[in-house]
Chains A and B, each alone.
Chain A
Amino acid sequence: MPKEIYLVKVGMTMTEGMVSEWFIADGAEVIKGELLYALETEKINLDVDADASGTVRHSVETGINLAPGDVVGYIYEAGEAIPETSLTIAVTEPAVSIEAAPDAQVKPSAPSVAAVSGRLKSSPAARRLAGELKVDITALTGTGPAGRIVEADVLLASSGPGPVKASPLARRLAEQRGIDLSTVRGSGPGGRIVQADLDGLESRPASKAAGTAGSTAQVIPMKGMRKTIAERMQQSLQNSAQLSMDMLAGMDDAVSMRTQLLKEWEGEARPTYTDFVVKATAKALRLHPQMNSVFAPTGITLLDEIHIGIAVAVAEGLLVPVIRNADQLSLKEIAVESARLASSAREGSLGLDDYAGGTFTLSALGMYGVDSFTPIINQPQSGILGINRIFDGLTWDQDRPIKTKQMNLSLTWDHRVIDGAPAAEFLATVVELISQPYRLLV
């Protein structure tokens, strides 16, 4: 029996994806572990390797949207009969409704396309964007590989975030002077941008209010990771009842214990304070299962497993790799795993499972000197804990002030799931554990 090649599922929220590129040609040999195809979803691009050796037969072309788990091809072992073509598309999502334009952009470049004629090739991101911008995707001509419609085509068709009203002269002057018209306020009839509006900009080059100062304003395109973050963060705030509180933890013992462990585990692991908080949080979540839950209108699902995501800043934005079953890992194991995830995230080499399945998230800004913030919940989770800087604070021994290392922990939680008192109890548990860090070692 040939071995099926599946469209792998990446993360809980993946609903569709596509083979954006085959690394092994149809009919060519692959060795197990070799890169087989490139997966593209709304969120990530990922290279998938072969989990068997043999002759590869594609059953889908690149650029066809499929559901995770769909078969995209087969690997035939040596000696197995290999059919002429195995192209049998399981069109799992008629709801995509791109079929409305049967004569659309499918280029009859290969005989194998017969099976997919009628299906418009477009990237998922392009289709989502088209929906948002109300662009008729069937009317577009794709510029991507094999004529596939990509985000840029949709953006071009929508001419940016919205039509800018400007006179022909203003448009030409803006082009010549490198002024982005979307940053210009129109003073003409009906808010139309006219020549005078641009003259004003030019004559105030030093004015910050002018924004563009006559030179090219940089526009960061709303796509890829930036777009995903923007949408998810806004949705999170819109869809839930978030609120935040701070609690102070004494860090003297944690600081001295970390110093000790750095020596003890040298060459094996370098525990960070975040690792301490991961461990403390995992333990606390076990004691306060409501904080480890998913809200749905029909009910709150308390999750058995505790997978803690850690927000990692990367050049393009933010990634949240997940330490799986953090409650079952020792502090040392957590330190090893978190170091691996952080470096993989920065190298862009995070694997499939590294993202998926987080049940609670930590976000650390202490290294930037932050003392308090209100992190935004990574939905569908119910809480996120912000880790702040360690500073020299005071405690009182009778009337005598004592200098102590302290750290604020900032908890944001979803009030739909947990009320203030139990949330405070959860936070108090984390604080207690971090203040008595020997308890993290058992």
Chain B
Amino acid sequence: MNEFDLMVIGGGPGGYAAAIRASQLGLSVALAEKEALGGTCLNWGCIPTKSLLHSAELLRNLGHAAQLGINLGEVHFDLSVMVSESRRAAEKLSQGIQHLMKKNNVRIFAGDAVISSPGLVRVGEAEILADNIIVATGASPRRLGAIEPDGKLIWGAREAMTPGFLPERLLIVGAGAIGVEFASFYAALNSKVTLLEVAAQILPVEDSEIAELAATAFRAQGIEILTGCSLENLESSETVTALIDGEAREFDAVILSVGVQANLSGAGVDKLGLELIDGFIAVNEVQQTNLPGIYAIGDVTGAPCLAHKATHEAMIAAEKIAGLQPQPIQKKRIPGCTYSYPQIASIGLKEADLRGRPFKVGRFPLYANGKAVVSHQTDGLVKTLFDAESGELLGAHLIGEGVTELIHGFAIAIGLEATEESLIQTIFPHPTVSEAMHESVLNAFGRTLHL
């Protein structure tokens, strides 16, 4: 019989981070993972898609090389190399996690873990006793009614990031972050992409002004956007026939990216009597479920399904188990990043959330930013929202190249409860795209310099 202070189920960015933090705090920790350490994020999500998008970005930039005085001749690409490179990156990072587990004395149990009862977990033949269990089993792509990926022409995210061929005509169902990232990737490889979204705007969780700018940029790249439309049927033979709002259209492949659902069955948590909300495990502010000794973190607890949210919740759960008093997570302080072209990054409230309260909005377009001009990346906007009375930074919404590397500045400001005064007083370095952040704040208070 194995005994540990903590058993973590799931080795993704929530689970492995919880294991490390708990180990740092002196707990004996075991972790069960049925596939590769690193979870969806590292193996089938963030990391490999960023590798593919990096290839796409380079390809796109090489197309502009002559403009910058570099003559390359004709540029060719090899999709299979792009894919294998992305797999290599994922594998390398997964090995890194293995090393971290070893370094932190986390005992790994490979296989399907099942919680028999609070305090008792089985992984294959092994029985593990643990006073505390963290469920970090993540989420999987949601099904769209009866339509399922067949792995041939109808793809889920996994097939979409390991394509066997480059579809000439590609339908992407669902224009959330995952959908638009695939749209950007395949559009860069000259697929004719159609992006279908049932909601009135693409990127439904983003500020509508930003989403509209994104849609304009996508259309300029040749991406067809259908919003407020629903997919009624898919028929797959030599090609795929999609019935969209009563109209039949033909595609060479379809990617389904319509959100995720919690992984409950694998760990047996569906039989424990855990309280659920909308199909995700319900937790309190320190990640405790309704069952004593059982915690849940990350995607299995619901939106936003983001790796960094899982990692943060991992810290909270591990620290709570170790007897500390962690600060609860504040969801409005979780930034979100979409690595489409152009990139989108945001935090906090959207302009539409502010109806009925006095607020100030600042906008600064990247065409007025020196660094963006020399980089030929002038499509973009930094939008900031402030409470008119208190000066609280309520939200920040960015679109443009490299903005995913800028949003943390506003995350820090919101985390420290900075007011406009603190941001205005901050000195931003020149020449950087980050100056647009400063200018946006200045703009909200009628003090823009470069417009």
Contact = CB atoms under 8 A, between A and B. Distances in A.
Do A and B make up one complex? yes
Given A188-B327, A189-B327, A169 B389 contact: no
Given A168-B419, A168-B421, 12 more contacts: A167-B416, A167-B417, A167-B418, A168-B416, A168-B418, A168-B422, A169-B390, A169-B392, A169-B417, A169-B418, A172-B390, A188-B327
B10 to A, nearest CB: 28
Interface of A: 167-170, 172-173, 176, 188-189, 194-195
B391 interface: yes
Contact of B391 (A172, A188, A189, A194): A172
Contacts of A172: 390-391, 419
Residue in A168, A176, A188, A194 with the greatest tally of chain B CB atoms within 10 Å: A168
Interface in B342-372: none
Given A167-B417, A168-B419, A168-B421, A173 B327 contact: no
Nearest to A188: B327
Given A167-B416, A168-B416, A188-B327, A176 B389 contact: yes
A173 B418 CA distance: 12
Contact of B419 (A169, A188, A189, A194): A169
A189 B389 CA distance: 25
Tell me the dominant secondary structure on chain B's binding face. Answer: loop
26 contacts: A167-B416, A167-B417, A167-B418, A168-B416, A168-B417, A168-B418, A168-B419, A168-B421, A169-B390, A169-B391, A169-B392, A169-B417, A169-B418, A169-B419, A170-B417, A172-B390, A172-B391, A172-B419, A173-B390, A176-B389, A176-B390, A188-B327, A189-B327, A194-B417, A195-B392, A195-B417
A194 B333 CA distance: 14
Contacts of B389: 176
Nearest to B419: A168
A176 B392 CA distance: 13
Contacts of A188: 327
Contacts, number: 27
A169 B418 CA distance: 6
A58 to B, nearest CB: 48
B402 to A, nearest CB: 28
Nearest to B418: A168
A172 to B, nearest CB: 6
Contacts of A168: 416-419, 421-422
Nearest to A166: B417
Contacts of B392: 169, 195
Nearest to A167: B417
A168 B417 CA distance: 6
A195 B393 CA distance: 12
Interface string B106-122: 00000000000000000
Nearest to A170: B417
Contacts of A170: 417
A195 B418 CA distance: 11
A169 B421 CA distance: 10
A390 B101 CA distance: 81
Residue in A169, A170, A173 with the greatest tally of chain B CB atoms within 10 Å: A169
Contacts of A173: 390
B285 to A, nearest CB: 12
B319 to A, nearest CB: 12
Nearest to B330: A196
Residue in B417, B419, B421 with the greatest tally of chain A CB atoms within 10 Å: B417
B21 to A, nearest CB: 16
Contacts of A167: 416-418
Contacts of B390: 169, 172-173, 176
A188 B390 CA distance: 19
A199 to B, nearest CB: 11
Nearest to B423: A168
Nearest to A177: B390
Contacts of B417: 167-170, 194-195
Contacts of A189: 327
A195 B416 CA distance: 10
A195 to B, nearest CB: 6
Contacts of A176: 389-390
A191 to B, nearest CB: 11
A189 B418 CA distance: 15
B414 to A, nearest CB: 9
Interface string B365-409: 000000000000000000000000111100000000000000000
A167 to B, nearest CB: 3
Contacts of B421: 168
Nearest to A196: B330
A273 B391 CA distance: 64
Contacts of A169: 390-392, 417-419
Nearest to A193: B417
A170 B418 CA distance: 9
Nearest to B326: A189
